[in-house]
């Protein structure tokens, strides 16, 4: 055996020895990971070789050491005698985006590309009614990789939103709410699915994000601003509020018989006084504010007084039902009186015209039809009839209808009575 043959034999034995002591054979199931910012990172290097100190196994990112990772090392007690070195980090950040490799000395094996995805979402304030509001929700690759594909969907109140005359979902995933008003305020849900164009089967489904459309508080006390309440009767006044987040409501009272403003009343949209008395008379103000709009404070007021007219009835929401009943009765009585007067006038005109058409030397039958002043009376029906009348004021007093004829007439007949129902 010559020298050359000996050299090749020695080289082959050395190669076999080194290969048996150190083999990095890890082939990942997938050559990439897609992680959300804040997710934990787990990078594992698998190798074999009894003569390899575990400290010599290194995992690097973009050829840089992973100083912020914690490493664990394990060995197997059974074939195939694999050993693992795992790098762990609890919360992924954009700095962790990159190319990861596992190396033992000068031997290096590609591991994985890890893409860190950052989700950008923000709430929006409704600056003015009738304008457009924009809610942002989008996924972005930290490395600026434009191969990350996102699919974004929106929902509100349990209803999936589509691009129509009210909503518009832009290519970057933002939701535009057209002609936004108070009815559009509240939380909107954004769902994001991200995948890479190299492998669209490896999808990252983010948890649903809540994005709010916020608006300043608005307050209204519906109904009359002057409320008349019967003594010892309950009263309820509702202060209607709008806005998101839901405004906080507090009541203040400035009483008629108090020199200073009273302390704040209990919070809540509804003010309730169980037994209204003279000491409760005054102005009551509902004040609404929101921690999201500390510079905005809105208010509305109502005045509550004792009702001295005795129209007792329940009071709710700033409307006294007794006042409504009284107005209705008065209006009905007015219509009834007008009808009575109209009928009497028409009757008078008809009788007068009939008398003028008859000659003065008419027969006894014509004279019998002529009526004296006391022959026509209005009979006021009791309240049990359909007549609208008042116990204190008669519907109509007896009054002359027309002058009696001057011609002699036969003895008067019994008076005729007209009743209007």
Is the per-residue pLDDT at 260 higher than 60? yes
- Which of the four pLDDT bands, split at 50, 70 and 90, describes residue 391? very low
- What whole-number percentage of the chain has pLDDT above 70? 58
Question: What are the counts of helices (DSSP H) followed by strands (DSSP E) for the chain?
Answer: 3, 28
* Triad 306, 311, 314: Cα angle to 5°: 80
- Which of the four pLDDT bands, split at 50, 70 and 90, describes residue 327? very low
Identify the residue with better confidence: 346 or 150.
Answer: 150
**Homologous superfamily (CATH) for 3-116:** Immunoglobulins (2.60.40.10)
Task: Report pLDDT for 79.
Answer: 62
Largest separation between any pair of C-alpha atoms in the chain = 179
Half-sphere exposure at residue 18, Cβ-oriented, CA atoms within 13 angstroms = 10
Would you kindly state where each structural domain of the chain is located, as residue ranges?
3-116, 123-207, 216-317, 330-418
Q: Which CATH class is domain 216-317?
A: mainly beta
* 413 strand-pairing partners: none
Average pLDDT over residues 160-179: 91
Question: pLDDT per residue over 22-53, tens digit each?
Answer: 455 554 556 778 888 889 988 888 877 665 66
- Which of the four pLDDT bands, split at 50, 70 and 90, describes residue 326? very low
Task: Report pLDDT for 123.
Answer: 86
> Which helix or strand (DSSP H or E) is residue 114 part of?
strand 107-122
Task: Report pLDDT for 191.
Answer: 93
CATH architecture of 123-207: Sandwich (2.60)
- 387 Cβ partners below 8 Å, 6+ apart? 336, 380, 381, 395, 420, 421
- List phi, psi (to 5°) of 128: -155, 150
CA 18: distance to chain centroid? 71
- List phi, psi (to 5°) of 273: -115, 115
Span of 204-208, 233-237, 302-306, 334-338 with lowest mean pLDDT = 334-338
Question: pLDDT per residue over 73-118, tens digit each?
Answer: 887 666 666 777 888 899 998 889 988 888 776 666 667 788 888 8
The domains spanning 3-116 and 216-317 adopt the same CATH topology:
yes
The whole-chain average pLDDT of the chain stands at: 71
- Which of the four pLDDT bands, split at 50, 70 and 90, describes residue 344? low
- Which of the four pLDDT bands, split at 50, 70 and 90, describes residue 282? very high
- What whole-number percentage of the chain has pLDDT above 90? 23
CA 362: distance to chain centroid? 85
Question: pLDDT per residue over 137-156, tens digit each?
Answer: 988 888 776 567 888 999 99
């Amino acid at each position: 055996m010559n020298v050359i043959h000996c050299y090749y034999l020695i080289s082959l034995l050395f190669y076999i020895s080194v290969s048996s002591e150190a083999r990095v054979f890890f082939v990942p199931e997938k050559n990439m990971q897609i992680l959300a910012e804040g997710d934990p990172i787990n990078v594992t290097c698998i190798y074999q070789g009894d003569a390899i100190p575990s400290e010599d196994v290194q995992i690097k990112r973009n050829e840089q050491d992973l100083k912020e990772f914690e490493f664990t090392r394990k060995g197997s007690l059974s074939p195939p005698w694999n050993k693992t070195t795992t790098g762990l980090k609890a919360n992924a950040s954009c700095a962790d985006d990159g190319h990861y490799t596992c190396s033992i000395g000068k031997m290096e094996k590609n591991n994985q590309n890890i893409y860190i995805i950052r989700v950008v979402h923000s709430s929006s304030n409704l600056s003015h009614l009738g304008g457009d509001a924009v809610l942002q929700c989008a996924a972005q690759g930290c490395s600026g990789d434009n191969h990350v594909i996102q699919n974004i969907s929106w929902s509100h109140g349990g209803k999936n939103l589509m691009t129509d005359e009210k909503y518009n979902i832009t290519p970057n995933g933002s939701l535009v709410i057209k002609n936004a008003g108070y009815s559009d305020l509240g939380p909107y849900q954004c769902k994001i699915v991200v995948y890479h164009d190299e492998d669209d089967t490896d999808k990252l489904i983010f948890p649903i994000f809540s994005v709010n459309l916020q608006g300043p508080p608005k307050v209204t006390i519906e109904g009359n601003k002057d409320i008349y309440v019967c003594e010892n009767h309950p009263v309820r006044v509702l202060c209607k509020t709008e806005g998101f987040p839901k405004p906080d409501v507090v009541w203040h009272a400035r009483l008629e018989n108090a020199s200073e403003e009273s302390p704040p009343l209990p919070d809540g949209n509804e003010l309730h006084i169980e037994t209204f008395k003279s000491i409760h008379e005054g102005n009551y103000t509902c004040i609404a504010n929101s921690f999201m709009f500390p510079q905005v404070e809105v208010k509305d007021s109502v005045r509550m007084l004792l009702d001295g007219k005795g129209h007792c009835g329940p009071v709710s929401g700033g409307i006294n039902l007794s006042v409504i009943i009284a107005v209705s009765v008065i209006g009905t009585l007015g219509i009834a009186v007008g009808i009575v007067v109209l009928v009497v006038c028409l009757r008078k005109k008809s009788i007068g015209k009939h008398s003028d058409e008859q000659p003065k030397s008419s027969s006894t039958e014509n004279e019998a039809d002529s009526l004296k002043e006391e022959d026509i009376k209005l009979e006021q029906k009791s309240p049990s009839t359909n007549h609208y009348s008042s116990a204190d004021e008669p519907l109509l007093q007896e009054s002359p209808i027309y002058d009696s004829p001057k011609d002699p007439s036969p003895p008067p007949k019994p008076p005729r009575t007209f009743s209007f129902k």
